[in-house]
Amino acid sequence: MTLDTEQVVINMGPQHPSTHGVFRMRVTFDGEVILDMEPVFGYLHRGIEKLAEHKTYLQNMPYTDRLDYLASMSNNMAYAMAVEKLAGIEVPERAEYIRIIMAELMRISSHLVGVGALFNDMGAFMTPFLYMYREREKILDLFEMVCGQRLTYNYMRFGGVSHDLPEEFIPTLKRFIDEMPGYIDEYDQLLAENEIVLARSKGVGILPADKAINASVSGPVLRGSGVKWDLRKMDPYSIYDRFDFEIPTGTVGDVYDRYRVRVEEMRQSVRIVRQAMEQIPAGEVRTRVPTPLKPPPGETYVSIEAPKGELGFYLVSDGSAKPYRFKIRAPSLLNLTVLRDLVVGWKLADAIVTFGSIDVCMGEVDR
């Protein structure tokens, strides 16, 4: 007797619990095995790049919050740095330190979400996710202290940050920084050696280093593949050259490596924040900048190491108060391009976990 089999095409997404927003995978299955996968995105397209051409430079700042909405501070910082370079604005020392603290806290927060969601995808019923959200809440409390917001911060300004740190910020931050390594140990106790986690992630979704580089992948996904590339070290922007930290890398480039890189990066970010907290000088937090800001005609590209990878802003000014061109290099989008190669030949459940390990934010992919 021969079995009459057929390939099955399933549209996973845009409404699906594990698509991290509105991503859609059009997957062809042979049973549970993936024969082909076609990524479809654009469901969250809002035309931010075009909209930005009709807003003043400062009015665009809240829009950057809405790119990778899990890392608004980093988006703010990259955009502020781009405009500062375009207009030749100096940033006061204290503001630089505040920015570093915010960016690194943001990295921790973003990785907490990324890792927590990865384990949700892996079927751990919310527990790692909720444990990590507990710490993320503390970071959000810190952000709320400085800017009043918990998601879309809109905190950075051209020439600094919008407000100075409140008095109680540093003690709260210190408490958090002291506690955080212990919490990271807890996550490791729960997950790092769990046999089911190992079975689900080791050797799954391997991204070789050469392929990663060819695909312009960046951030933890690239470092998970063993490429030691981090803009904070390779092209130190802001004042990153003053801090002592390591770049964690993986070896194989599988889901497990990417997960470990994120956890280690959290530890490194804690180190950076601690140093920044100890060194932070007193002083101004914002250079006075004319409003509306009219940068001289010209163009610029500034990129930073955002939690998800290299986040770049390419701006063209025609001397008016609004950018002539506003282009975003979104790390999530470029990281997502390797997904098909990683999942073909693997099982349905692997596709979900691999996608989760890339940690994209659809707000940034589609903009």
Partner 1 sequence: MSVLEQFHDWLAVYVPDWAAYLIPGVVGIAILFAFVMVVVMYFIYIERRGLGRFQIRQGPNRAGPQGILQPIADAIKILLKEDIIPARGDRLVHWLAPVVTFVPALMIFAVIPWGHGAILADLNIGILYIVAISSLGVVGVFMAGWSSSNKYSLLGAMRDIAQMVSYEVPLVLSIVGVLMVTGSLSMVSIVEAQSVPFILLQPLAFIIFFIAALAEINRSPFDLLEAESEIVAGFHTEYSGMKFGLFMFAEYTHAFAVCCILTTLFLSGWKGPLLPAALWFMIKAVLVFVGLVWIRSTLPRLRVDQLMEFAWKFLFPLALVNIFVTGVEIIIWPAFPWWLIFVNIPIAAILIVLWSSMFRVHGEKVSLRHFGWGIAKGLALTLRHLFRHPITVQYPEQRLTVSKRARGQRFVRDERKRAPCVLACPASVDAQGYVAMITQGRFIEAVELIRDTNPFPVVCGRVCTHPCEKACNRGCMDQPVSIRDLKRFITDYEMSVGRGEIAPYPRTREEMVAIVGSGPGGLTAARDLARMGYGVTVFEALPMAGGMMAVGIPEYRLPKAVLQKEIEGIERLGVEIRLNSPVGKNGLTLESLQQQGYEAILLAIGAHDSMKLDIPGEDLEGVYHGVSFLRDVSLGKPVKVGNKIAIVGGGNVAIDAARTALRLGAKEVFIVYRRSRQEMPADEEEIEDAEAEDVKIHYLAAPVRVLGEGGKVVGLECIRMELGEPDASGRRRPIPVEGSEFALDIDMLIPAIGQATDLTCLPEGHTVNITRRGTFDVDPLSPVTNMPGVFACGDAVSGPATVVEAIGAGAKAAVAIDRYLRGEEIELAEEVMPLKEVAFEDMDISDVEKGERPKMPHLSVRDSVRGFEEVNLGFSAETAIAEANRCLNCGFCAWCRQCEDACPYGVIKIVPQQTPEGETGVERFDIDLGECIFCGLCIEACPAHRLYLTRIYEAATYRRGELLLDKESLMPFPAAQPSAYARPEIEPALPKQSLLLDRNRSVE
Per CB under 8 A, residues contacting partner 1 are 8, 10, 16-18, 32, 55, 58-63, 65, 119-127, 130-131, 134, 137, 141, 144-149, 152, 154, 162-163, 166, 168, 186, 189-200, 202-203, 288, 290-291, 347-350, 352
For the record, the structure tokens of 121 come out as 């995808």
Q: Are 295 and 302 in contact (CB under 8 A)?
A: no
How many whole angstroms separate alpha carbon 303 and alpha carbon 298? Answer: 17
- Rounded to 10 degrees, the C-alpha dihedral 15/20/26/30 comes to -100
Sign of the CA dihedral running 333, 336, 341, 344? negative
- Indicate the residue type of 138: K
For the bound state, the minimum distance from the C-beta of residue 61 to partner 1, rounded and expressed in Å, comes to 7
Residues 28-32: contacts with CB under 8 Å, at least 24 apart: 29/348, 30/5, 31/5, 32/347, 32/348, 32/349
For the bound state, the minimum distance from the C-beta of residue 10 to partner 1, rounded and expressed in Å, comes to 5
**Between 116 and 331, whose beta carbon lies closer to partner 1?**
116
For the bound state, the minimum distance from the C-beta of residue 338 to partner 1, rounded and expressed in Å, comes to 21
**Between 58 and 239, whose beta carbon lies closer to partner 1?**
58
**Between 272 and 362, whose beta carbon lies closer to partner 1?**
362
Closest to 184 measured CA to CA, from 134, 249, 221, 126:
134
**Between 197 and 217, whose beta carbon lies closer to partner 1?**
197
How many whole angstroms separate alpha carbon 128 and alpha carbon 253? Answer: 22
For the bound state, the minimum distance from the C-beta of residue 146 to partner 1, rounded and expressed in Å, comes to 8
Closest to 306 measured CA to CA, from 249, 237, 206:
237
For the bound state, the minimum distance from the C-beta of residue 266 to partner 1, rounded and expressed in Å, comes to 17
For the bound state, the minimum distance from the C-beta of residue 240 to partner 1, rounded and expressed in Å, comes to 27
**Between 16 and 211, whose beta carbon lies closer to partner 1?**
16
Cβ-in-10-Å burial (0-12, 13-18, 19+) of 239 comes to middle
**Between 163 and 233, whose beta carbon lies closer to partner 1?**
163
- Indicate the residue type of 66: R
For the bound state, the minimum distance from the C-beta of residue 364 to partner 1, rounded and expressed in Å, comes to 17
**Between 198 and 234, whose beta carbon lies closer to partner 1?**
198
For the record, the structure tokens of 297 come out as 């005609």
For the record, the structure tokens of 331 come out as 């790390």
